[in-house]
Structure 1
Amino acid sequence: MSDTKPPLPARTFDPWPRIPIDTSPDSDFYRLDRIAGSAATGWALGPDGAYAQNRPLADIVDNAVREALLHLLELGLIDIDSERMHAASGWPTRRQAPATEQ
C-alpha cells in the first residue's frame, strides 16, 4: 500500500479515489482482517453477546464493526487520520470497489 493518499474529492458527492489494497492471504490486510473479524465475532457470539441476546441484525453489525475498530485502534495497528476526516465535505457510506474488483 502506498503511503501517499489520493486527494479528497472537490465536492460532497464526487467519487472518492480508492487506494489499492492487497487482500491476498499473505498480505497485512488479510492478517488485520482476521484480527478484527475475531474481535467482532467474539463480541457477537460470546456467551453474553448480541446473538445470545437476540438483538436486531443492524445493531449486531454496527456494534461488531465498532468492536473490531476499537480492538485494532487499541492494539495500535491502525490510526485515525483526523485531519483528512475533518477536511472532507462528506463521506461515502457504501463501499465502491475499485474497477479491478467489480
Structure 2
Amino acid sequence: MTSKPPLPARMFDPWPRIPIDTATGSDFFHLDRIAGDAATRWALGPEGAYAQNLTLAEVVDGAVREALLHLLELGLIDIDSDRLNAAPGLPMHRERTNS
C-alpha cells in the first residue's frame, strides 16, 4: 500500500494525491467493476433512478452511495476516520490526475 501524503495545512489547500494503478487487472480495476455493478443494479432496481424518475444529481448521489456502501460492507475499503477528522477541510473538488 502507498503511504498517505500529509494533510493540507489550511482549509481549501489542495490535497496531495496518491498515485493509483488503474490498468486492467489492477486492484482498482476490480473495485471499479464491483462498485459499478452495485451502482448499476441500484439504478435499474425497484428503488433506483428509473423507478423514481430522479434528477441527474440524485442519480449520481444514489449510485455513488450504493457503490461505496457495497465496498464498505464487503470490507474491501475502510474509512480512515482519524485522517478525515484531522483535516482542516474536506476535498470537495477534485483536480484531474494522470491516473
Q: Which has the higher contact order (CA 8 A, sep 6+)?
A: 2
- The 3 A distance-change label for structure 1 pair 48 and 87 is closer
Written as runs of structure 1 = structure 2, the 5 A alignment for 1:2-13 is 2=2, 4-13=3-12
Who is 1:87 aligned against?
86
Who is 2:60 aligned against?
61
Which blocks of at least 5 consecutive residues in structure 1 are unaligned?
Answer: none
TM-score, with structure 2 as normaliser: 0.92
Identity of aligned residues (%): 72
Which blocks of at least 5 consecutive residues in structure 2 are unaligned?
Answer: none
Who is 1:76 aligned against?
75
Question: What is the rounded CA distance, in whole Å, between the counterparts of 2:46 and 2:14 in structure 1?
Answer: 42
- Code of the residue aligned with 2:83 in structure 1: it is R
- The 3 A distance-change label for structure 1 pair 15 and 46 is same
TM-score, with structure 1 as normaliser: 0.90
Q: Cα offset for 1:48?
A: 4.2
Residue correspondences, number: 99
